Amino acid sequence: MLGSYRAELLKLRKRSAVWVLFGAGLVLSLIFGYLLPYLGYATGDGNQQTDGIPRSEVLRGVLPERVMDNTIGGFPVFAGALALVLGAIVVGSEYTWGTLKTILTQRPGRTTLLGGQLLGLLTMLAVWVLGIFVACSLCSIGIAAAEGAPMDWPGPLTLLKGLAGGWFVLTLWCLAGAALAVAFRNVALPIGLGVVWILGIEALLAGVVSSLLPDLRFLSDAMPGANAGALVFSVTGMTAADAPPGVRDAVSGGRALSTMLVYSAVFVVLAMVTNRRRDVS
Amino acid sequence: MNATTAPLVEVSGLTKRYGDTLAVDGVDLTVLPGEVYGFLGPNGAGKTTTLRILTGLIAPTSGTVRVLGGAPGQAQVLARTGSMIESPAFYPYLSGLDNLRLLAEYAEVPRTRIHEVLALVDLAGRAKDRFSTYSLGMKQRLGVAAALLKDPELVILDEPTNGLDPAGMRDMRRLIRELGADGRTVLLSSHLLGEVQQICDRVGIISEGRMVAEHLVDDLRTEQELVIRATPRESARSILTEALGAAAVHQYDDTLRVKVAPDRAAEVNRLLVEAGIAVSELHSTERALEDVFFELTTTDNGPEKTNAG
């Protein structure tokens, strides 16, 4: 397993698509977490973007005390979609390039190979989360210094919970992408289906349920995206009023965590079983 | 080759079915230690499907398969087997060197071995270039390098000279002969008769998913037969078939080939002449592998239909 894991890290490190996706996540986090709010703050109270929120509150949102909100606030939606794409391209391209056959005839068993791949992906996601956190921290430090605002940081436990929660949200979507890639032995179809699910179906379902079919709320609350949003909500200092799209207290943090664990386990088991049973052509 | 040693590959009654298509149909195959075994057949005869089963990539529908004493795909079997199945597949964004580095990680072999195999396939000079920039021949050589990475006892190569230019084919064949001379066992699939004749000790011929012959290449080549040009040909064929048996007589182009000892030529000639057949040519010849191949894989109406890769 260690050899497979090291090989995966080599592949991930040298693959430009991995860093392009990371760069996209980083840029989007900084734009929505810092650039747009800061522009709103700089242009005054009457700005439509701030929707009447006092400037001091807008500034507070981009200071170090809210760094975790800005680091993982976008994870349930856009960073999650990017993590799904990561899982799909890394696992799916083994089929499209035919490299699965090359590896499997070397030595590792199918379970070992997939296990190494998933561990490599989870390691890369940890690098993503830390990278975005560092960039967000630098932005908040810069803004605080420029505005002469206090540099109060969240406590270590809050930071740790936030980073772990954000990593787990990305992990969930990445595993979904990997499982879809194994199922379809492809890259494009899993990405298409997964992204439509994250960005379209879940939001649509939540909207229909809340407005037309409130009795089916249990269904929308059981969706992976709803639970990812609830987990982020629970590990940050957000309120319902200032939470970004996709982040809401649909369920409690504990329930969100256990639901996500179940989804993750299902994705891993499906991928492993399918991978073991199928012919490699 | 030591015929008394246990076979490295033992296949019995191997069948692989895809829906209604029978890709491999009851194949029996034995590869002995130290031999270079040619697995010969037309495109689509079932060669690659069989090799995929031997490497554990696909599961057989029925039959028994033992490779190096174990089941195909077992870690301890794969650790002693090097293979290149179908076209070589590597990561296009990595260099040849990095591709071998990560395969060395998967195979748990020391990195020093990478430079040895790169030198062996004459790819050391381009090792740091991306795989996507390689020519087909270079890709093929990298595939062979990957197959040799574990210094394996058994090397399985699926049409290794595909896409190579004449010089590349010559070098590849020399390399394979050297592998055999070093005591490695090589199982080589090909649809090129000359290649098998040059490289291999023994040959198995597969057609329509069925193994139709398994012989020492030298035995096939040294087998004598009579070449007869006679008119009318069909009458001559009937007479010879009746006298010598259907298995001894076959048609090749516009001649009849009769598998009998050369000293029976006069007897065969008399048979035909007494039946009023005009014999315009009769001589004995050593059969080429090509003759054997077409005899076994071709019907009088043309090549047999094939159904698998």
**ipTM at complex level:** 0.87
**Which one-letter amino acid corresponds to residue B13?**
G
* pLDDT confidence bin for B302, thresholds 50/70/90: very low
Q: Which of A79-88, A234-243, B54-63 has the lowest average pLDDT? A: A234-243
Segment (H or E) for B258: strand B255-258
Q: How many residues does chain B have?
A: 309
Which of A236, A248, A245, A247 shows the shortest CA–CA distance to A61?
Answer: A236
Q: Which of A9-13, B215-219, B285-289 has the lowest average pLDDT? A: B285-289
Cβ proximity of B254 and B212 under 8 Å: no
Confidence at residue B36, expressed as pLDDT on a 0 to 100 scale: 93
Which of A4, A9, A104 shows the shortest CA–CA distance to B52?
Answer: A104
Cβ proximity of B59 and B65 under 8 Å: no
Q: What is the mean pLDDT of the segment spanning B133-159?
A: 93
Of all residues in chain A, the percent with pLDDT exceeding 90 is 67
Residue B232, preceding bond cis, omega within 30 degrees? yes
pLDDT above 50 for A209? yes
* pLDDT confidence bin for B196, thresholds 50/70/90: confident
Token pair of A214, please? 């409130």
Provide CATH 3.30.70.980 ranges for chain B.
224-286
Cβ proximity of A198 and A81 under 8 Å: yes
Give dist(CA A142, CA A144) in Å, integer: 6
B75 contacts in A (CB within 8 Å)?
Answer: 107-109
| Record: contact A16-B93, CB cut-off 8 A | yes
Confidence at residue B278, expressed as pLDDT on a 0 to 100 scale: 92
Segment (H or E) for B57: none
Residue B59 touches partner A, C-beta closer than 8 Å: yes
Alpha carbon A165 to its chain's center: 10
pLDDT above 70 for B119? yes
* pLDDT confidence bin for B309, thresholds 50/70/90: very low
pLDDT above 90 for B167? no
Query: What is the residue-averaged pLDDT of chain B?
Result: 87
Q: Which of A158-172, A204-218, B156-170, B265-279 has the lowest average pLDDT? A: A204-218
Confidence at residue B289, expressed as pLDDT on a 0 to 100 scale: 67
Q: What is the mean pLDDT of the segment spanning A61-85?
A: 92
Q: What is the mean pLDDT of the segment spanning A79-89?
A: 96
B148 contacts in A (CB within 8 Å)?
Answer: none
Correct CATH for B224-286 of 3.20.20.70, 3.90.1210.10, 3.40.50.300, 3.30.70.980: 3.30.70.980
pLDDT above 70 for B288? no
pLDDT above 90 for A97? yes
Residue in the block written with tokens 């075994």: B37
How is residue B130 annotated by DSSP?
B
Q: What is the domain count for chain A?
A: 1
Name the residue among B59, B79, B85 with its Cβ closest to that of A107: B79
Report the DSSP pairing between strands B21-31 and B202-207. Answer: unpaired
Cβ proximity of B170 and B178 under 8 Å: no
Query: What is the residue-averaged pLDDT of chain A?
Result: 90
Of all residues in chain B, the percent with pLDDT exceeding 70 is 91
Higher pLDDT, B106 or B163: B106
By C-alpha distance, the chain B residue nearest A114 is B106
Q: Which residues of A touch B (CB under 8 A)?
A: 3-4, 6-7, 10-11, 14-16, 97-99, 101-109, 113, 279-281
By C-alpha distance, the chain B residue nearest A104 is B57
The C-alpha angle with vertex B113 and arms to B112 and B115, in degrees rounded to 5, equals: 75
Confidence at residue A208, expressed as pLDDT on a 0 to 100 scale: 81
Higher pLDDT, A221 or A163: A163
Q: What is the mean pLDDT of the segment spanning B224-252?
A: 88
**Which one-letter amino acid corresponds to residue A231?**
L
Q: What is the mean pLDDT of the segment spanning B287-292?
A: 67
pLDDT above 90 for A52? no
Name the residue among B79, B85, B90 with its Cβ closest to that of A99: B90
Domain range for A270 is 2-277
Give dist(CA A228, CA A239) in Å, integer: 16
Token pair of B13, please? 């009654």
Give dist(CA B160, CA B173) in Å, integer: 9
By C-alpha distance, the chain B residue nearest A98 is B89
Distance linking the first and last C-alpha atoms of chain A: 24
Give dist(CA B227, CA B272) in Å, integer: 13
Give dist(CA B64, CA B28) in Å, integer: 9
- A179-184: list long-range contacts, CB under 8 Å, 24+ apart: A179/A87, A179/A267, A179/A268, A179/A270, A179/A271, A180/A87, A180/A88, A181/A87, A181/A88, A181/A89, A181/A90, A181/A91, A181/A92, A181/A95, A182/A91, A182/A114, A182/A270, A182/A271, A182/A274, A182/A275, A183/A270, A183/A271, A183/A274, A184/A92
* pLDDT confidence bin for B287, thresholds 50/70/90: low
Per-residue pLDDT reduced to its tens digit, A101-141: 999 998 888 999 999 999 999 999 999 999 999 999 999 99
3-state secondary structure of B242: helix
Give dist(CA B299, CA A246) in Å, integer: 68
A6 contacts in B (CB within 8 Å)?
Answer: 105
Which residues have C-beta within 8 Å of that of residue B166, sequence separation ≥ 6? none
* pLDDT confidence bin for A84, thresholds 50/70/90: very high
Give dist(CA A75, CA A230) in Å, integer: 11
pLDDT above 80 for B4? no
By C-alpha distance, the chain B residue nearest A9 is B102
B16 contacts in A (CB within 8 Å)?
Answer: none
Q: How far is B181 from chain A (nearest CA, A)?
A: 23
Cβ proximity of B182 and B128 under 8 Å: no
The CATH fold assigned to B9-220 is Rossmann fold (3.40.50)
Hey, of B54, B61, B86, B105, which one would you mutate to test binding to chain A, going by the most A CBs within 10 A of its CB?
A: B105
B88 contacts in A (CB within 8 Å)?
Answer: 102
A10 contacts in B (CB within 8 Å)?
Answer: 98, 101-102, 105
Q: What is the DSSP string of B11-49?
A: EEEEEEEETTEEEEEEEEEEE-TT-EEEEE--TTSSHHH
